[in-house]
Amino acid sequence: MSETQLIPAGEARLQGGQFFGAVRHRLEHSGAVFSDLRHPVPRKLPMHSHELPFFGLLLSGFYGERYGRQQKQFSPMSLMFRPAGIPHQDEIARGGLRFFHVELRPGWNARLAECSGKLDQGCEDSRGGRLFWLAMQLYRETFAVEQADPLCVESLLAEVTGLAARLPLQEKKHAPQWLERVLEKLHAECCARLTLDDLSAAAGVHPVHLSRVFRRFQREGIGEYTRRLRVRASCRYLLDRELPIAEISLLTGFADQSHFTREFRRITGLTPHAFRSRLLPAC
């Protein structure tokens, strides 16, 4: 049953990226608006609705919400999804709070409609389920890094929207044949600027379905899998003592040397320089 309601006259309708609190950081990427929202003091907000459907990841503080006949309370590390146009009233508890908001532009509704999905029902994840951890990965890939990786952000958005739209995922025991084509393309072109649509075209399936099936059988998202392939490729380049690390970072598809160094260390436990030094000791 849809929770979408008509907005009574006089209520505030907030546009994408617009909030009653203070937005410390905002990023528009892959058809979504990411906002780092702060409320420093306790307050009750006026009744309002949002123009765009959104995910809200409560990073700190306590928060109450009233919409329709429902009243909900949220504690830190809780996640909610709300469709567009639902009037609600929020109350910020003592001590203030911090939210990571992900608002979805209409393109995501159109993508989901292609596979009979709708973002018309709210949901929550307060127990650390799949939706929560995907949202945490989105936070890391947008605000916890210097530059967002397009394929990683786009594929994570495809996964979270698929879950919020309650798209069914068939429980097959064996990976579909098209997944092998996607893996081959990733291995051959991991250092190129691939998009989710590129991979979807190779597979012959919808991008949202691709992202969800990929995680089920590979046990990680497309972005993370691709990043590991890039780090593996960089290890080979590091065998050339004369090749500068900054150049290797560009050859392997990283945004810059600092991004490359951070991801290389996270995956291997060593910096590229330390890895090269152990592999190629001084003569």
Q: Is the pLDDT of residue 167 over 70?
A: yes
- List, for residues 11-70, the tens digit of each pLDDT value: 788 999 999 999 999 999 999 999 999 999 999 999 999 999 999 999 999 999 998 788
Mean pLDDT, to the nearest integer, of 140-162?
A: 91
- List, for residues 185-236, the tens digit of each pLDDT value: 999 999 998 999 999 999 999 999 999 999 999 999 999 999 999 999 999 9
Q: Is the pLDDT of residue 7 over 50?
A: no
User: What pLDDT, on the 0 to 100 scale, is given for residue 171?
Assistant: 66
The answer to whether 148 and 142 have CB atoms below 8 angstroms apart is: yes
**Start-end of CATH 2.60.120.10 domains in the chain:** 12-127
User: What pLDDT, on the 0 to 100 scale, is given for residue 152?
Assistant: 94
Q: How far apart are CA 52 and CA 114, in angstroms?
A: 19
- The amino acid at 240: D
Environment class of 116 (CB within 10 Å of its CB; exposed 0-12, middle 13-18, buried 19+): exposed
- List, for residues 117-131, the tens digit of each pLDDT value: 899 999 999 888 899
Mean pLDDT, to the nearest integer, of 86-98?
A: 93
Mean pLDDT, to the nearest integer, of 169-188?
A: 88
- Side-chain-side CA neighbours of 272 within 13 Å: the count stands at 28
- List, for residues 238-269, the tens digit of each pLDDT value: 999 999 999 999 999 998 999 999 999 999 99
Out of 3.40.50.1980, 2.60.40.420, 1.10.10.60, 3.30.70.3000, select the CATH number for domain 168-283: 1.10.10.60
User: What pLDDT, on the 0 to 100 scale, is given for residue 180?
Assistant: 95
Confidence of residue 8 (pLDDT cuts 50, 70, 90): very low
Q: Is the pLDDT of residue 3 over 60?
A: no
The answer to whether 222 and 179 have CB atoms below 8 angstroms apart is: no
Kindly report the CATH number that applies to the domain delimited by 12-127: 2.60.120.10
Q: Is the pLDDT of residue 6 over 50?
A: no
DSSP per residue over 150-216, as a string?
HHHHHHHHHHHHHHHTT------SS--HHHHHHHHHHHHHTTS---HHHHHHHHTS-HHHHHHHHHH
Torsion of CA 222, 228, 231, 236, to 10 degrees: -110
**Start-end of CATH 1.10.10.60 domains in the chain:** 168-283
User: What pLDDT, on the 0 to 100 scale, is given for residue 170?
Assistant: 67
